[in-house]
């Protein structure tokens, strides 16, 4: 069936900001969909509030709206663009929910727009548990015993049916958020209460516990002629009870016979037919009792998903691309698989001849107050994927690709403690994010596979392989390097042992291990991912390393540029860096280089097959990179775009003779080494906040006296503000030095005077070594002290004079020239009392590069990559800063609702997972949209609760006056109320939590407060007020924790709901 | 997190010196001179055959017991084999017919709720020579580029005694499958009735004891059990007869339909079966052929068969119905094919492969006879096109009502 000619324009809904459970896999899918539809000649209209995405690049769609993905805003876009159809299956749950809302509010009917890819009925049937359950019964599939509940009474009734332990899941939430496993009544009440609140339709599903069952996922694609294929089967290493996003997963399935697999396959296809997914990809999840083989269906997603992105990367079959083509009427037999250069059709099931392992990456260290056990609610923030010829090789590659300081199954258990074995048992039974290492430790303790399997529910098939690796480790540890002959070494490398892990076991430096291996001539070969297990010759240039006889890489002799990616996403290093890597690769390809991408993150666009000429899906570690360099012999290697991951390798790679292009490794070190950096600042006559480096507690107290409080304290060499705090007095400093960090000669601590009323500024620039061009000056909305990644910012600055901006331009240019930057540089500055202070300089890609690029209409990453490859700024014609006339505001998005118990206060440690961008003719409009996009919807009217620290009282009257004028009833704590009353404004005084009841928390719980302005300082005050913020979070009451933020909220509210929508293309045309 | 190694991390009782597995060498030699050195698994000894690969990720037990693999050494492209062990329900015939097995990695353990014996024991018990720990992808690429090659597996004492050169000699000496009539070798020697039905998730196989309105006589050229189960499950009395049974003997059984099974080797020498099929066509008896049976039907109708340069061996092959465009993912295992250009006017093409466009299904325009080149019975593979069996039933129904 040819493509549909009755539709001309299609609106694609994006996924919005990166949050836990919905990450950059939807940029990967969305970008593929945009390309797939545009090449068919459709007019593509795109809405996505996330500026760090490739899909929102102006060339990806005909009209790109970086606007909130809410039905109200999307209606405005529909009104303006009049699309014929909407494709809602590429933007995760956000897009599906938006599509349902558009339908509910009659927008689809009003403008006569059709949903393609999935109908409202299908979405409803898949998402509404009751409808789903009935549908499954109709096709003879069993679902777990369960009940529905819309209130506690119904919840108890359901409990009677399923018994303890039971799994509670709220409907329509991301990543199963708000769910949990209840073993007793107390937990049951807690989880149900939270779930009812979180579910948009106040609905809970209470399930029979299938804890310990095996879990399988099938990725199914269906076309309008009912042709169905299974792209990939994924088996979860972690048993049921752990969210699949938090599970280690393996493809293909390992422990199903063909008879069983075919029954799952038939069932998965039957599910798509029954749910009514007419075209596109879906994910179907099954649970299976390992003892009896009893099979139940867990859920299905009628859209592309995290798993489909993984399946695409695991098999080389681009699900999103194919799904988009099917949505416009093609059938599978009419499509070819582009990855294999068309050697294979789209209408077949990929078969693979390797093993893929995905391991999630967690960030519990950022949220110490929360429960760090992994459950049915997803908590991981990123993932790594590895390909090996065997499971052992695959999982060991994945472990070292995770970048959590391990190079394989490094020991984790502290042995020798009286309760070591109890800890081990608990870690196995009640999984945390590090269970897989405890599994290895259990084998080191001599525990049997049966014991470990019983405690963990992990299939013994996987466990025997880990046990075997431990036997190998023990053998290595008994050896000396010289005893290791070529055959032994080759066999160990086949099992996936890294040089670094073997070196640790042999107690030698990694370099020695590597040199020895090279001396013996043991090197990896590269095999191709071709979807057909080599049955057909294909031109795919998607490769992975292994230790075998034949190498298929066939490197060319063209001039090559290699880009090192950022590895798994984490807080502080996410999609923004991948965006830069993608742009670097695209620019280099445009300039005629052969491009080589090295990365191991399956969610990303950088690991899409068509971004670079050759893709090596490999861990970004020294060993893995050096082997590819050895084979490919690139002309240049780019390390400054992938975040800290490749930067950390820069020095060693350079020493090993790898041609790193751009800013030198030494300049990177200069910027990061505080003492060298300070000397440079002084040499240039610039200012830094008074600061000092200390190596002991006593030293710190003395230094603090000199610098004076408050102080920003942090360990040296950190990214994302790990362990960074602000201390206001000696007592707090002592506590910090005692408990928060282990200070010593090797790990000094930095003290900086805290500019507590400063405006913070971010500047991105690009230089070719001869000339500097500022990309943009961004003014933070939150004052200094909030991590730049967590702060909202405005481009251009919204209240910084031109004169100050010029001084900033001058200073950053001096810094760039001094550092001999070739490529990108980001500078953070603070402005207070008419002084400009340099806080930090990073001569590399920064988190704001994509945002800036979207605002100024020039890809800074591309410009920078070209500078690095030797094309000057003048030659590129980029010689002058572009200052937009409109405003754009970037706002951060936080995962607090996934971590109950965490205080949602902003501070120097970065906690956000993603960002949104709002654009407007004025700052107010842009800010309002950014808030909306971030899910912080504030409406004027109702009551506002205000409680501010003394330092902010001077601005209090201003804020209170504005809020009053906006129609808010003012509520305040006594001290704050007194100041407001003095200004002649009506205010009601309310109790703090420790002042008797009813108090402010009661009022929040009773929905008597609609907005909170709460600024605090000092450890104790913060702790005291944390209950207010946590309650506000649970009750979905907007809460701003800075006075600057409150003022911006006022501006946005004053602007009201007269929001207009703009395409990025029209805004760029105005530049 | 502590991240440095110290042997103290190992418990004092840790079995540092786990019995080191004795690795017995094995080689696979190919007629083009290639040698693959690996480890012997299964039985030790010498075995020659045509080396082919199969890309199914599941179903190794079904593949090993499929009689179509007679005289073939089968390489499985998925690296981990043996994961689910073996069981008494998943055999496709009573024996292992493949001449040998070539894999990358033999599973350390079998983990499945139906497992009864490990693959290693299964191979030993059935005296199957096998090799593991070779670069099977290199081998597959070689076979892909050169087509099936004759080869020889040599392991254990035999290898120690005779050396690699002997394996090479044997590989070159193997006569190949062209012109080889293997159907009569693997066929049953006496006819019997088949009653076992399809496998059901929690029940396994059970006998079909229903009304049995139709009587199907199934020629066994190396029939896979799942074909017989498929037919029996559709309420048919199934009588399995030896390959060389004459048409007269079959007609004496008063069949409602005749089934021509899959099987190994070249269809052309099976003149006895071709002659019998011609007779059934004359008598307007419904005929359904699968794989070799498809080729025999084609030959009986006057079409030609060819040895393919690159056979089909996998469970992911898309086949399209020429009539309505429907795509079926099918199981395939054939090295010979019907030449579409040779089809007479009364034999039309019904299905084609979306991989290489080769002919996959044929139907007589004037007789109740049709055939399929792939394996609609699955085992292993998808069940997408089991409806062909229903079509066979319809043809028998139509004949009765005439």
Partner-chain residue, chosen from A345, A441, A549, that has the shortest CB–CB distance to B138: A549
Count of helices and strands (H, E) across chain B: 10, 19
Are B61 and A257 an interchain contact pair (Cβ–Cβ within 8 Å)? yes
- Residues A279 and A303 sit within 8 Å (Cβ to Cβ): no
Q: To the nearest whole angstrom, how far is the Cα of B79 from the nearest Cα of chain A?
A: 6
CA angle, corner B260, sides to B256 and B262, nearest 5?
A: 150
Q: What span, in angstroms and rounded, lies between the C-alpha atoms of B275 and B266? A: 16
Q: Does the pLDDT value for residue B300 go beyond 90?
A: yes
Contacts of A345 (CB under 8 A, 6+ apart): A332, A333, A335, A336, A337, B318, B354, B355
Which of A457, A534, A536, A538 has the highest number of chain B CBs within 10 A, making it the mutation to test binding with B? A534
Q: Does B137 contact A353 at a Cβ distance shorter than 8 Å? A: yes
B113–A548 CB contact, under 8 Å? no
Over 50: is that where the pLDDT of A979 sits?
yes
- Backbone phi, psi, residue A192, to 5°: -65, -45
The answer to whether A107 and A78 have CB atoms below 8 angstroms apart is yes
Q: What is the mean pLDDT of chain B?
A: 93
A332-355 tens-digit pLDDT = 999 988 777 777 888 889 999 999
Nearest CA-CA distance, residue A180 and chain B, Å: 27
Candidates A278, A284, A305; CA nearest to A121 is A278
**Is there a catalytic annotation at residue B294?**
no
Tell me, what's the pLDDT at B4? 41
| Per-residue pLDDT, B1 | 35
Distance of alpha carbon A272 from alpha carbon A125, whole angstroms = 11
pLDDT of res. B20: 66
Query: Which residues in A184-195 are b (16+ Cβ under 10 Å) and which e?
Result: eeebbeebbebb
Q: Which two tokens stand for residue A750?
A: 């930095």
Q: Which two tokens stand for residue A647?
A: 């930067």
Model confidence pLDDT, tens digit, residues A219-239: 999 999 999 999 999 999 999
Residue closest to A968 by CA, chosen among A1054, A1041, A1055: A1054
Give the pLDDT confidence of A349-376 residue by residue, as tens digits. 999 999 999 999 999 888 888 888 898 8
**Percentage of residues in chain B with pLDDT exceeding 90?**
84
CA of B62: which chain A residue's CA is closest? A258
Q: Is the ipTM of this complex over 0.90?
A: yes
Q: Give the number of other CB atoms < 10 A from CB of residue A814.
A: 16
Nearest CB neighbour to A461, from listed B111, B317, B382: B111
Max Cα separation, chain A? 86
A21/chain B closest Cα distance in angstroms: 26
Position A745 scores a pLDDT of: 62
Res. A746 pLDDT band, cuts 50 70 90: low
What's the full length of chain B, in residues?
Answer: 402
- Tokens representing B391 are 């079509």
Q: How many CB atoms lie within 10 A of CB A900?
A: 19
**How does pLDDT run across B253-276, given as a tens digit for each residue?**
999 999 999 999 899 999 999 999
Strand bridging mode A525-528 / A542-546 = antiparallel
Sign of the torsion angle spanned by Cα atoms A372, A376, A377, A378: positive
pLDDT of residue B5: 44
Residue A35 has pLDDT above 70, yes or no: yes
pLDDT higher than threshold 80 for residue A1002: yes
B71 touches chain A (CB under 8 A): no
Q: Could A266 and B318 be called an inter-chain contact, meaning their C-beta atoms sit closer than 8 Å?
A: no
pLDDT exceeds 70 at position B9: no
- Greatest CA separation found in chain B? 84
**Which residues is A388 bridged to in the sheet?**
A355
Contacts of A816 (CB under 8 A, 6+ apart): A765, A767, A772, A825, A843
pLDDT score at A658: 96
Provide the pairing of β-strand A249-251 with A228-236.
antiparallel
pLDDT of residue A422: 95
A351:B326 CB<8 A: no
Q: Both tokens of residue A296?
A: 């139940």
Q: How far is CA B396 from each of CA B212, B287, B347, B391, rounded to the nearest angstrom?
A: 12, 9, 19, 9
Q: Which of residues 297-336 of B touch A (CB under 8 A)?
A: 314-318, 320, 325-327, 329
The per-residue pLDDT of chain A, averaged, comes to 93
Whole-model pTM: value is: 0.94
- Of A116-130, A768-782, A1036-1050, the range with the highest mean pLDDT is A768-782
Who's near A549: CB < 8 A, 6+ residues apart?
A: A525, B134, B135, B138
Inform me whether the pLDDT recorded for A720 exceeds 70: no
| Interchain contact, A536 vs B144, CB within 8 Å | yes
Residue B333 CA to residue A815 CA, distance in Å, equals 68
Asked if pLDDT for residue A638 goes beyond 50, the answer is: yes
Nearest chain B Cα to A347, which residue? Answer: B318
How far apart are the C-alpha atoms of A973 and A971, rounded to whole Å? Answer: 7
- Which pLDDT tens digit goes with each residue over A657-707? 999 999 998 998 899 888 899 999 999 999 999 988 888 888 899 999 999
Instruction: Output DSSP code: residue A70.
Output: S
Pick from B2, B87, B112: CB nearest A412: B2
* Most confidently predicted of A151-165, A587-601, A978-992: A587-601
pLDDT 10s digits, B51-68: 999 999 999 999 999 999
- Name residue A525's beta-bridge partners: A546
Q: Which two tokens stand for residue A1053?
A: 């509210």
> CB within 8 A of A292, min separation 6: which ones?
B113, B202
pLDDT in tens, A1007-1025: 899 999 999 887 788 888 8
**CA distance, residue B331 to nearest chain A CA (Å):** 11
Cβ atoms A1048, A956 nearer than 8 A? no
Q: Give pLDDT, residue A159.
A: 93
Give the percent of chain A with pLDDT over 70.
Answer: 98
For A625, residues 6+ apart whose C-beta sits below 8 A from its C-beta are: A564, A598, A618, A649, A653, A658
B375 is catalytic: yes
Q: Is the pLDDT of residue B3 over 60?
A: no
> If DSSP codes are grouped into helix, strand and coil, which group holds residue B80?
strand
- Whole-number Å distance between alpha carbons of A709 and B121: 75
* Helix ranges, A947-1011 (H): 953-965, 974-982, 1000-1005
**Residue B141 burial (CB count, 10 A):** 19
Torsion sign over Cα B372, B374, B375, B381: negative
pLDDT category of residue B401 using cuts at 50, 70 and 90: confident
Residues 17-46 of B with CB under 8 A from A: 18
B152, B236, B270, B291: the catalytic one is: B291
Whether the bond into B325 is cis, omega within 30 of 0: no
CB contact under 8 Å between A351 and B56, yes or no, is: yes
Tell me, yes or no, if B152 is annotated catalytic: no
Displacement of CA B362 from its chain's centroid (Å): 20
* CA dist., res. A628 & res. A642, Å (int): 17
Which residues are CB-neighbours of B85 under 8 A, at least 6 positions away? B110, B111, B112, B115, B116, B117, B118, B119, B122
CB B339 within 8 A of CB B357: no
Our CA-based measurement puts residue B34 at a distance from the nearest CA of chain A, in whole angstroms, of: 12
Three-state DSSP class for residue A701:
helix
For chain A, count helices (H), then strands (E).
37, 38
Instruction: Please report the pLDDT score of residue A241 as a whole number.
Output: 87
Contact A547, A493 (CB under 8 A): yes
Put simply, the chain A residues between 299 and 328 with a CB less than 8 A from any chain B CB are: none
Helices A1043-1055, A923-933: crossing angle, 10 deg rounding? 100
Closest by Cα among A287, A280, A204 to A247 = A287
Q: What is the mean pLDDT of residues A282-306?
A: 92
User: Does the CB of B77 have a partner CB in chain A at under 8 Å?
Assistant: yes
pLDDT at A85: 98
């Amino acid at each position: 069936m040819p493509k549909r000619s009755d539709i001309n324009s299609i609106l694609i809904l994006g996924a919005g900001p990166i949050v836990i459970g919905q990450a950059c896999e939807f940029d990967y899918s969305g970008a593929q969909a945009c390309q797939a539809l545009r090449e068919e000649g459709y007019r593509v209209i795109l809405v996505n509030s996330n500026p760090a995405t490739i899909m929102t690049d102006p060339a990806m769609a005909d009209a790109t709206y970086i606007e909130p993905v809410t039905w109200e805003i999307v209606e405005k876009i529909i009104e303006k663009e009049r699309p014929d159809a909407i494709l809602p299956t590429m933007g995760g749950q956000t897009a599906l929910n938006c599509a349902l809302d558009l339908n509910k509010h009659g927008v689809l009917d009003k403008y006569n727009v059709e949903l393609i890819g999935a109908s409202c009925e299908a979405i409803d049937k898949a998402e509404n548990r009751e409808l789903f359950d009935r549908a499954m019964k109709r096709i003879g599939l069993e679902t777990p015993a369960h009940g529905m509940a819309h209130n506690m009474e119904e919840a108890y009734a359901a409990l009677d049916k399923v018994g303890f332990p039971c799994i509670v899941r709220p409907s329509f939430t991301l990543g199963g958020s708000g769910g949990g496993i209840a073993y007793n009544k107390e937990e049951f009440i807690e989880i149900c209460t939270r779930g009812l609140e979180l579910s948009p339709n106040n609905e809970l599903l209470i399930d029979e516990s299938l804890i310990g069952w095996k879990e399988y996922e099938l990725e199914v694609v269906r076309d309008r002629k009912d042709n169905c294929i299974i792209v990939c089967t994924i088996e979860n290493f972690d048993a049921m009870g752990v969210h699949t996003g938090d599970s280690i997963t393996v493809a293909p399935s390992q422990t199903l016979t063909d008879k069983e697999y075919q029954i799952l396959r038939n069932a998965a296809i039957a599910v798509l037919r029954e749910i009514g997914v007419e075209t596109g990809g879906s994910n179907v999840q099954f649970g299976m009792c390992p003892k009896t083989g009893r099979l139940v269906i867990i859920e299905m997603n009628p859209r592309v998903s995290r798993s489909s992105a993984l399946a695409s990367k695991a098999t080389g079959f681009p699900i999103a691309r194919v799904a988009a083509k099917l949505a416009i009427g093609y059938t599978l037999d009419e499509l070819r698989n582009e990855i294999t250069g068309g050697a294979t059709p789209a209408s077949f099931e990929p078969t693979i001849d390797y093993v893929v392992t995905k391991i999630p990456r967690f960030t519990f260290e950022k949220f110490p107050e929360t429960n760090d056990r992994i459950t049915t609610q997803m908590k991981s923030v990123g993932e790594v994927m590895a390909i090996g010829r065997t499971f052992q090789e695959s999982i060991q590659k994945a472990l070292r690709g995770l970048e959590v300081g391990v190079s394989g199954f490094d020991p984790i258990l502290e042995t020798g403690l009286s309760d070591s074995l109890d800890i081990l048992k608990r870690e196995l039974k009640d999984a945390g994010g590090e269970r897989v290492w405890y599994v290895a430790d259990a084998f080191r303790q001599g525990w049997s596979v049966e014991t470990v399997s019983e405690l963990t529910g992990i299939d013994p098939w996987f466990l025997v392989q880990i046990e075997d690796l431990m036997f190998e480790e023990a053998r290595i540890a008994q050896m000396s390097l010289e005893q290791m002959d070529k055959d032994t070494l080759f066999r160990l490398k086949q099992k996936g042992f890294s040089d670094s892990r073997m070196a640790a076991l042999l107690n030698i430096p990694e370099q020695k291990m590597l040199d020895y291996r090279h001396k013996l001539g043991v090197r990896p070969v590269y095999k191709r991912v071709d979807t057909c297990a080599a049955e057909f010759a294909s031109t795919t240039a998607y490769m992975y390393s292994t230790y075998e006889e034949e190498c298929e890489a066939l490197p060319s002799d063209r001039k090559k540029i290699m880009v090192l990616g950022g590895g798994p996403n984490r807080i502080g290093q996410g999609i923004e860096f991948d965006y830069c890597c993608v742009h670097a690769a695209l620019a280099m390809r445009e300039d005629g280089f052969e491009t080589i991408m090295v990365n191991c993150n399956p969610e990303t666009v950088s690991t899409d097959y068509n971004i670079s000429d050759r893709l090596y899906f490999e861990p970004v570690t020294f060993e893995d990179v050096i082997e590819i360099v050895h084979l490919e012999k690139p002309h240049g290697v780019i390390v400054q775009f992938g975040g800290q991951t490749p930067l950390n390798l820069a020095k060693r790679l350079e020493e090993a003779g790898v041609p790193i292009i751009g800013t030198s490794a030494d300049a990177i070190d200069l910027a990061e080494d505080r003492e060298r950096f300070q000397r440079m600042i002084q040499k240039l006559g610039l200012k830094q906040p008074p600061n000092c480096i200390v190596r002991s507690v006593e030293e710190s107290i003395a230094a603090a006296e000199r610098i004076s409080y408050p102080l920003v304290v942090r360990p040296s060499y950190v990214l994302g503000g790990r362990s960074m705090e602000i201390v206001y007095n000696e007592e707090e400093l002592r506590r910090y030095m005692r408990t928060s960090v282990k200070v010593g000669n090797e790990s000094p601590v930095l003290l900086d005077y805290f500019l507590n009323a400063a405006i913070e500024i971010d500047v991105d620039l690009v230089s070719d070594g001869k000339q500097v061009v500022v990309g943009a000056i961004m003014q933070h909305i939150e004052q200094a002290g909030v991590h730049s990644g967590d702060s909202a910012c405005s481009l251009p600055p919204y209240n910084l004079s031109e004169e100050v901006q010029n001084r900033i331009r001058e200073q950053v240019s001096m810094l760039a020239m001094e550092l001999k930057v070739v490529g990108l540089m980001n500078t953070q500055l603070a402005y207070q009392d008419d002084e400009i202070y340099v806080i930090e300089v990073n001569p590399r890609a920064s988190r704001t590069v994509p945002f800036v690029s979207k605002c100024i209409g020039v890809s800074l990453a591309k410009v920078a990559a070209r500078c690095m490859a030797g094309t000057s700024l003048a030659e590129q014609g980029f010689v002058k800063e572009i200052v937009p006339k409109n405003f754009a505001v970037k706002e951060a998005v936080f995962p607090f609702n996934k971590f109950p118990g965490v205080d949602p206060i902003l501070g120097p440690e970065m906690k956000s997972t993603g960002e949104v961008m709002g654009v407007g003719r004025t700052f107010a409009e842009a800010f309002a949209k950014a808030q909306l996009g971030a899910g912080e919807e504030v409406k004027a009217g109702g009551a506002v609760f205000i409680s501010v620290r003394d330092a902010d009282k001077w601005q209090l009257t201003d804020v209170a006056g504005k809020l009053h004028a906006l129609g808010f009833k003012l509520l305040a704590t006594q001290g704050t109320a007194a100041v407001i009353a003095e200004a002649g404004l009506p205010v009601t005084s309310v109790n703090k939590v420790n002042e008797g009841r009813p108090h402010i928390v009661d009022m929040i719980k009773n929905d008597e407060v609609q907005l909170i302005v709460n600024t605090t300082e000092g450890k104790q005050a913060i702790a005291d007020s944390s209950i207010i913020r946590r309650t506000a979070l649970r009750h979905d009451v907007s809460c701003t924790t800075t006075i600057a933020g409150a003022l911006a909220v006022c501006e946005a509210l004053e602007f009201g709901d007269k929001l207009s929508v703009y395409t990025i293309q029209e805004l760029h045309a105005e530049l | 997190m502590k991240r440095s190694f110290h042997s103290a991390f190992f418990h004092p009782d840790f079995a540092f010196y786990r019995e080191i597995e004795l690795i017995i060498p094995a080689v696979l030699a190919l007629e083009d001179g290639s040698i693959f050195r690996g480890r012997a698994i299964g039985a030790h000894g010498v075995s020659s055959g045509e080396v082919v690969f199969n890309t199914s990720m599941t179903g190794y037990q079904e593949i090993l017991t499929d009689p179509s693999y007679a005289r073939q050494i089968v390489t499985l492209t998925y690296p981990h084999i043996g994961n689910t062990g073996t069981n008494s329900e998943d055999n496709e015939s009573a024996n292992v017919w493949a001449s040998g097995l070539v894999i990358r990695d033999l599973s350390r353990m079998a983990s499945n709720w139906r497992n009864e014996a490990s693959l290693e024991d299964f191979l030993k018990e059935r005296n199957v020579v096998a090799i593991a720990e070779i670069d099977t992808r290199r081998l597959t690429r070689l076979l892909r580029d050169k087509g099936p090659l004759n080869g020889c597996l040599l392991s254990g004492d035999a290898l120690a005694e005779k050396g690699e050169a002997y394996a090479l000699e044997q590989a070159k000496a193997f006569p190949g499958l062209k012109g080889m009539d293997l159907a009569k070798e693997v066929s049953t020697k006496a006819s019997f009735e088949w009653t076992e039905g399809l496998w059901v998730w929690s029940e396994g196989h059970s006998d079909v004891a229903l009304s049995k309105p139709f009587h199907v006589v199934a020629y066994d050229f190396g029939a896979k059990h799942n074909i017989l189960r498929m037919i029996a499950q559709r309420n048919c009395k199934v009588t399995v007869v030896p390959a060389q049974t004459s048409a007269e003997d079959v007609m004496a059984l008063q069949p409602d339909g005749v089934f021509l099974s899959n099987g190994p080797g070249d269809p052309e020498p099976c003149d006895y079966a071709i002659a019998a099929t011609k007779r059934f066509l004359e008598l307007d008896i419904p005929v359904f052929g699968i794989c070799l049976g498809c080729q025999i039907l084609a030959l009986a109708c006057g079409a030609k068969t060819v040895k393919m340069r690159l056979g089909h061996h996998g469970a992911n092959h898309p086949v399209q119905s020429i009539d309505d465009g429907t795509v079926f993912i099918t199981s395939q295992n054939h090295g010979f094919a019907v030449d579409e250009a040779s089809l007479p006017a009364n034999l039309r093409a019904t299905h084609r492969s979306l991989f290489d466009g080769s002919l996959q299904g044929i139907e007589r325009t004037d007789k109740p006879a049709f055939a399929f080149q792939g394996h609609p019975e699955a085992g292993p593979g998808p069940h997408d096109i089991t409806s062909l069996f229903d079509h066979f039933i319809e043809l028998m129904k139509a004949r009765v009502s005439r």
